[in-house]
Structure 1
Amino acid sequence: MTDKTSPTTFADLGLIPTLVERLEELEYSQPTSIQSHTIPYLLEGRDLVGGANTGSGKTAAFSLPILQKIYQQDKPNSRRGNTVSHLILVPTRELASQVAYNVKSYSYHLRNEIKTVAVFGGVSVNPQMLALRGGSDIVVATPGRLLDLVSSNAIKLDQVQTLVLDEADRMLSLGFTEELNNILALLPEKKQTLLFSATFPEKVTTLAQHLLNEPVEVQLQSAEASTLVQRVFSVNKGQKTAVLAHLIKQHQWRQALIFVNAKNSCNHLAQKLSKRGITAEVFHGDKGQGARTRVLEGFKSGDIQVLIATDIAARGLDIEKLPVVINFDLPRSPADYMHRIGRSGRAGEVGLGLSLIDYDDYHHFKVIEKKNKFRLEREQVAGFEVDDDQSEAYFAPMKPRAKPAGTGKKKKNRNQ
């Protein structure tokens, strides 16, 4: 854990005036905790392990030092062949697109146009191969598509100066371990390596120990997370849709992101909300990449007010000032709960993470609370109170089970 002082401005971090000017244009008023604690070390060329709450500004934390490094090189236009100088690996298509967009935005005023290319699956590979010709300064990639491009000789990784593993926990949980190992074997031994992750299971810790060279470790629970309010409403079984529709109409949220656990649940819930006068779009893995992109762009622009999504939207989706995230279905993984609600309350904005639980969800939500180390009051929605015969199960403490008579081994008599 580092105790470097936290500068109050981006200029204090050591960033060049051109980048500071661009950040001011983007209305980045001051560095977030993860930015102020990491950027000075990254400008020094140190390896780093960074952990912070979702929405804390990790993308700017790792991309701004890379852009400054490229800008200050003696030969900023030294791209050649099909090499890449700085590689950012991410777990999903949406995150690849989002990170590349942000990097291009940050580099808007830098001379000699820094070339940033995003490569990911689900779309034709040919335009990406063309974009990589002549070399690239920064490539943002998903592991599978990157290896496809390597095998086609569309990109070479032997000149990489900086490697960033973003959302490392998600990358490993999605089963990219083998692909990641294959990519690491193609990289030069001497490079700066940055690993960012919201959680640190054993696989991530082992990877960091193996890959990084005397890294700085920055583990933050940002105070900015307090701008996200969490609430949980207990409802009767079968009444979730009615309660959801009531809340949307009552609060008239500018936008709402609703999570369910299955692709067919997205369409089913959208149809049920439509019957109640609420129009919703859906976002899941069965939609083609073009359709997914159009839906996300519509949601980001505000043209779509209600979006129903599976967990592919739980990472890498950055919607400015999203007022509320609703768990219609609880996530299977307690870690995914934090990633879901983290789509709201980002960058210090006030947000709401709301969960609907019925009798079948009650015990799983207790597991989510225990794993994430919080405890929420169970609330009810006026007009949709829980039936009396279920209220004790919802709100009373769990009673220990009575041990069945005649089971278990008898204690051995030590005097025999």
Structure 2
Amino acid sequence: MTDFSTLGLSEKLMQGLAKANFTKPTPIQIEAIPHVMAGRDLMGLAQTGTGKTLAFGLPLLHRLLGVGHPPAPRTIRALILAPTRELVTQIATNLEVFTKGTPVKVVTITGGASIHRQTEKLARGADIMVATPGRLIDLLDRNAVTLEATGYLVLDEADQMLDMGFIHSLRKIARHLPLKRQTLLFSATMPKLIEELAHTYLREPVRVQVAPPGKPVEKIAQSVHFIPQGDKAKLLESYLLKHPGEQALVFGRTKHGSEKLMKLLVSWGFQAGSIHGNKSQNQRDRTLTEFRDGTLQVLVATDVAARGIDIPGVRHVYNYDMPNVPENYVHRIGRTARAGAAGSAVAFVAPAEMEELRAVEKVLKQPIPVIGGAAWAADIVAAAPKPGQKPRQGGRPKAQGAKAPAGAAKPQSRGQQPKAAHGGRPGRPAAAPGGGAAPRRSSSQGRQAGGAPRG
């Protein structure tokens, strides 16, 4: 079964697939679509970027195109829940390719947008609602929408929803849904909580798995560069300069640190933008549009974007800060090598992040090749404070994210040399990309430079 024509989809959908140049279904689509068409509950496991949206979207649209009459006021026929605003927008955009010229109506419901306008849209009902859990609960509490006639529930990126603490929201939403429904759960990883979630909300589900959970796309060239936290900004600059004209996605740990890093890159002459939780929905949408059309070369983001960006032009992912949740590493690097293209992912690892690196490699079940520096010695790792940790007494290293002391170096323009972060030559990273091992550093040398952005 290697052709969409063999999956039993309607002629309207087949025309849409041809117009969008979709010729052959992906493995997850081949495995999932027949079961969804047959009305079975399904748990789909596949790595990011493999076509999961159409795996549930096409059979869902096939059903809804055959209804023949509009939904009742304030009612929803199919509910798709996703963890982030970006992913909600991405799913709706993919579905709307096939709903143009049809009576099927798709609405998006997210925080950061006018709840009054959303209430007005829902007053006429909708065939498909794509929503984040929090805003949907707000609308349910206002009686702006009812889920009593919702016959389809899709949980997309369910593992990230649990990571973001949406389990209580899911339980609350489930109480509004009819027991007689079809439920589809899609995820890239399979922690124990997902098993429990599936057992609670799915009825005798078919399990479809096309790749080991958490396995990154094979075309991504992964590597690690060991570097002190304070030298990461200059190292990032050197990597970006090596690939002019190629788009890069940079992941930071915090909203403040990501914004600070973006502004530093702009001051150095890069076309850069940022998306994180402190940005309004309009700001995030505008920045993503500029990144998608190539106006921006670099996008700095927190994990809010790890599963909401589907831009084929992204060639490089830089983990400026290692993720706190190891599975998020898979989703971060999955933003490159989209649609069969190749890509690279480099992780910048400071002494305080060795534990996070080990956790990632445990998920991957293999070590990540080292491209620069050398693994930090145990005594340096032990002395390094964790992110957000208060400074220790007795002159030990400061916690990452702590306020810089008076007189510390501030970010310079690209034409100036910043003060040395560790007593070496001014403005020179500990090791150039692809270079040799960085020297062992004492705990005092491993401090962050006062002016370097911290993720």
TM-score by length of 2: 0.80
Q: 1:236–1:386: 8 Å Cα contact kept in structure 2? A: no
Which residue of the partner structure matches residue 95 of structure 1? 87
Verify: 1:284 aligned to 2:335, yes or no: no
Give 1:208 deviation, angstroms. Answer: 0.6
What is the letter of the counterpart of residue 4 of structure 2?
F
Q: Select which of 25, 28, 50 maps to 1:31.
A: 25
**Superimposed CA distance per residue, residues 69-116 of structure 1 (whole angstroms, 9 cap, x where no aligned partner):** 01123xx2241121111111111111112111111112225x3x2111
* Counterparts of residues 16-415 of structure 1 (less than 5 Å): 16-73=10-67, 76-109=68-101, 111=102, 113-221=103-211, 225-236=217-228, 238-380=230-372, 381=432, 385-389=436-440
Give me the identity figure in percent: 40
Partners of 1:14 and 1:207 lie apart in 2 by: 30
Which residue of the partner structure matches residue 7 of structure 2? 13
Moved more, 88-97 or 12-21: 12-21
What is the letter of the counterpart of residue 269 of structure 1?
L
**Superimposed CA distance per residue, residues 48-72 of structure 1 (whole angstroms, 9 cap, x where no aligned partner):** 0001001111111111101100112
**Superimposed CA distance per residue, residues 162-215 of structure 1 (whole angstroms, 9 cap, x where no aligned partner):** 111111111122122222111111111111110111112222111111211111
Note the aligned Cα RMSD (angstroms): 2.0
What is the letter of the counterpart of residue 307 of structure 1?
L
Residue aligned with 1:246, SS: helix
Partners of 1:77 and 1:228 lie apart in 2 by: 46
What is the letter of the counterpart of residue 355 of structure 1?
A
What is the letter of the counterpart of residue 225 of structure 1?
V
Residue aligned with 2:317, SS: strand
Q: 2:42–2:183: 8 Å Cα contact kept in structure 1? A: yes
What is the letter of the counterpart of residue 118 of structure 1?
T
Q: 1:245–1:278: 8 Å Cα contact kept in structure 2? A: no
Give 1:376 deviation, angstroms. Answer: 1.9
Q: 1:118–1:141: 8 Å Cα contact kept in structure 2? A: yes
- CA 1:24–1:46 in 2, change beyond 3 Å: closer, same or farther? same
What is the letter of the counterpart of residue 155 of structure 1?
V
Partners of 1:204 and 1:149 lie apart in 2 by: 26
Partners of 1:340 and 1:98 lie apart in 2 by: 16
Residue aligned with 2:347, SS: strand
1 or 2, which has the higher helix percentage?
Answer: 1
Partners of 1:42 and 1:54 lie apart in 2 by: 20
Residue aligned with 2:79, SS: strand
Q: 1:327–1:354: 8 Å Cα contact kept in structure 2? A: yes
Partners of 2:43 and 2:6 lie apart in 1 by: 22
Moved more, 358-367 or 280-289: 358-367
Partners of 1:231 and 1:253 lie apart in 2 by: 21
Unaligned ranges ≥5, structure 2 = 373-431, 443-455
Give 1:24 deviation, angstroms. Answer: 2.1
Partners of 2:266 and 2:289 lie apart in 1 by: 22
Q: 1:253–1:324: 8 Å Cα contact kept in structure 2? A: no
- CA 1:163–1:363 in 2, change beyond 3 Å: closer, same or farther? closer
- CA 1:91–1:366 in 2, change beyond 3 Å: closer, same or farther? same
Partners of 2:216 and 2:329 lie apart in 1 by: 18
Partners of 2:234 and 2:15 lie apart in 1 by: 49
Q: 1:97–1:118: 8 Å Cα contact kept in structure 2? A: yes
Partners of 1:268 and 1:92 lie apart in 2 by: 22
